[in-house]
Chain A
Amino acid sequence: MQFSFSTEVVDLDHQAPNRNKRESKYFWDEMYRLISAGGFCRIDIPYEPKWDFGGRSGIPRTKRSVDIKFGNTEGYLKFLAENGINGISSVHLDPTLFCRGSVGMFLGAAEHYGMEAIQFAAEAGAEAFILSATPTFYAVHRTLGETTETEFLKQMKDLVQRLADAAEEQGVKLCLKNEYWGLLRGEIISDFVKGMKDNVFLDVDTAHLSIAGTDVQKFIADNQKRIGSVTLTDTSFSDDGEAYKQVMPEFPAKSATWVFRDPGYGKLDLSAYADAALQAGFDGTFHLNCRNSASICRSILRARYYVDHSLNA
C-alpha cells in the first residue's frame, strides 16, 4: 500500500491561537520535515487560489505561490526532496470559493482554476487531480438565481468532463470528491457519473461518505471501476441537524463538534475500508487526511501510528 499525507491538516480558514504564522513560508518549509519525520514521503495538496488574492504566496497551495517562492514547480519539487518529501500524490480543488455572483461566473472561474490545478498536478507528477464534485449546498443555492439545481448539475457535469479530458491528456486522473455538504453527497454521485467517460474517477473519502449515510464498503464495491483515489478520513459525526446546508457545514450549529478526527479517533473502521478498496482492485495511493487539525504534529503522528498498527499495510 502507498500512502500520502494531506497538507490540509493545516487550517488556514478559521480562528485559532498561533494561526497567523501559517501564512509565512518558514512555517511550511518546516512542515515538510515534520511530515517526513512522521514517516510520510508524499503529500496531497489542497489547491486554494484564495491565498493568491491576498498575496499570501508563502502558503504553498497554488501554482502562483510555488512559482513566486520556488521559481517553478520543478524548484518546488527539488525543495520538497531536500526536506524529506519525494513527491506530490494529488492536488485537490474545491471550487466553492468561486460560487458567488452568478452560475456563469462560477463556471468560468472553476474551469480556469481547474485547468490551472491540473497543469500544476501534471508538472508535479501527481497521480490525481481531485475535484469537489460541486460547491457546498449553501453556496450553490445562494448563487443559483433563475437556474434550477438540475440545470446547474448538467452544466457541472459538462465542466467535469472537460476537466477530465484535459487531465487525461496531461497524464492525471480526475477524481470526484463528494463531500457531505455538496449536491452529490453520498450515493447520489453514482448516478451523476453514469454514462460519463471512463476518464472520470471517484475519490472515496470515507468520512464524507459515512456522514452522508453511505455504506462505504458497498459504495466501493458498487463503483469499483471508477475508484481513482481513496482518502482515509475519520469521523464520529452524524448529521442529524442538516449541517450540510449551513454556510460552514464543518461546524454544526446544532451542537459544536470536531467533525473530522484523526485516524483511529473517530468511529470509522478505516482498515476495513482500505481492505475493501484493495479487494476492488484499487492500486493507487491512500491519502491520510487529518483535515483542519487542532494539533498538527499530533495529527501527523497519530496518522503514522494508525498506519503502522491498524492498517494491514
Chain B
Amino acid sequence: MEKNIRLSHMSHWKTVPYKKIDNFRDYYYEDKSNVCYYQDWDRILRYHKQTGYEGIELAPWDLNEILGLFGTPQNYVDFAADHGIAVSGMFHGCDDSHIAEKHDEVVQAGKNAVDICASFGGRHLNTCPGNNYYGNGPLDSQGLKNIASCLNEIGEYAESKGVQIGIHNEFFCVSNKYNHRQLIEMTDPRYVHYCLDTAQIALMGDDLIDFYDTYKERICTFHLKDTADIGVSDAVRFSQDVEIQDDGHRWFWEPGEGVLPLEELWRHVADYGFKGWVTVEDDGAPDYLAAMTLSSFYVQQVLGKIYR
C-alpha cells in the first residue's frame, strides 16, 4: 500500500555533544546513569529510525554545534542517511518582521535560513512569522502587512531553492487569534504555505478542524502534537515569557495524550489526500525517547488506521 505520510521528528534534543561515542561501555561506567544514552548523534538517529521515523527537522539554534561536529551540512546529511534518516526541514523565526525598517534584514536572514535548510536537503522551512505578542502586539494592519511582505519575499526565494516556507504561528506570537487568518490571506499562496501545528492552533483558540478545512490547500506539512489547553485566554497568551510556565505546566503533550480531535482531523486529512512530511514535536516532554515512541505508536497504530 502506498504511503502518503512521511514521519519526521523535530529536534528538540538540547545540544547533542558527541557525533559518535565509541567508548560507550567505559563512558557509561564513569557515571552509571542513562545520560550517556542521549549524548551522541549516532544513537539519537538510531532511536529515530527504530521508532518509525524517516526524518528529522533541525533546530537552527543547534547549527553551530552540528557544523562543529560534522564540518559540513553534507557530512551530517550523509551520516543521517546511513541511519536511514533524512532532514525534512528546519525551523526559523522571523523576528522583527512587523517593523518596516527591519524588512531587508529580516528577508536576508530568511533567505540565509532557506540556504541552510536547502544545504541539509530540507524541504520545509517552518517559520514563526514574528516576535512574541508581549512587547509587540497588538499589530495594526500595516504591521501585519509588513510581516506578509517579508514572508512573501522569503517564500519566493525559497521556492527557487526547492524549499517551502510554512507559517508556524505560535500561540503567543504577535500575529494571533484575532488576525492570524488575516495574515495567511495577505500572503501569496504561490510562495507562502502553512505548517499546521495542531496544538498551537488550538491553544490560540482557533477550531482545528475548521482551520484545516479552510486552509488545507495551503498546508504543506504538520507539526503534530497534542494539548490539554484549548483556547488559552488572551491574558495568558499575551503575557511575558509564556512558553515556559513557572509551575511546570505543559502546553504540549504527545499525540493522543491530550484532548485534541486528532482522529477526526485525520479523517479530513485522508479525505483531502495530503501527502508529505508530518513532524512530531515533543517540546516539553521530560523524556524524548519515550515521547517519540509514544507519538510514533499513535501516528502509526491509531491515525495510521485512518490514513497513512
Contact = CB atoms under 8 A, between A and B. Distances in A.
Chain B: number of interface residues, binned into ranges: 35 or more
A306 interface: no
Contact of B247 (A13, A19, A26, A253): A26
Nearest to A250: B17
Given A15-B16, A294-B31, A56 B244 contact: yes
B8 to A, nearest CB: 18
A26 B246 contact: yes
A264 to B, nearest CB: 15
Contacts of B285: 20
Interface in B12-54: 13-19, 21-24, 26-27, 30-31, 33-36, 38-40, 44
Interface in A233-266: 246-248, 250-251, 253, 255-258
A157 interface: no
Nearest to B31: A294
A18 B286 contact: yes
Nearest to A246: B68
Interface in A1-48: 12-21, 23-27
Contacts of B33: 294-295
Interface string A138-180: 1000000000000000000000000000000000000000000
Chain A: number of interface residues, binned into ranges: 35 or more
A76 to B, nearest CB: 14
Given A15-B16, A253-B19, A256-B18, A247 B248 contact: no
A69 interface: yes
A114 interface: no
Given A14-B17, A17-B286, A247-B65, A55 B244 contact: yes
Given A23-B244, A26-B248, A55-B244, A248 B30 contact: no
B240 interface: yes
A49 interface: no
A228 interface: no
A57 interface: yes
A13 B16 CA distance: 9
Given A17-B287, A18-B287, A55 B243 contact: yes
- If over half of B's interface residues share one DSSP class (helix, strand or loop), that class is named, otherwise mixed; here it is loop
A14 B15 contact: yes
A68 interface: yes
B77 to A, nearest CB: 18
A17 B247 contact: no
B30 A24 contact: no
A12 B244 CA distance: 14
A58 B38 CA distance: 24
Nearest to B66: A247
Contacts of B19: 253
A17 B35 contact: yes
B18 A251 contact: yes
B269 interface: no
A161 B53 CA distance: 53
A237 to B, nearest CB: 11
Interface string B246-285: 1110000000000000000000000000000000000111
B245 interface: yes
A290 to B, nearest CB: 12
Q: 8 closest A-B pairs (Cβ-Cβ)?
A: A247-B68, A251-B17, A25-B246, A55-B241, A256-B27, A15-B38, A256-B21, A57-B241
30 contacts: A12-B14, A13-B15, A14-B16, A14-B17, A14-B39, A15-B17, A15-B288, A18-B287, A20-B283, A20-B285, A21-B248, A25-B246, A26-B248, A55-B240, A55-B244, A57-B240, A57-B241, A58-B246, A138-B68, A248-B15, A248-B68, A248-B69, A251-B39, A255-B23, A256-B36, A256-B40, A257-B30, A294-B31, A294-B33, A294-B35
Given A16-B38, A256-B21, 16 more contacts: A15-B39, A15-B44, A20-B283, A20-B286, A21-B286, A24-B246, A55-B132, A55-B242, A57-B240, A247-B67, A247-B69, A250-B17, A255-B26, A257-B27, A258-B31, A294-B31
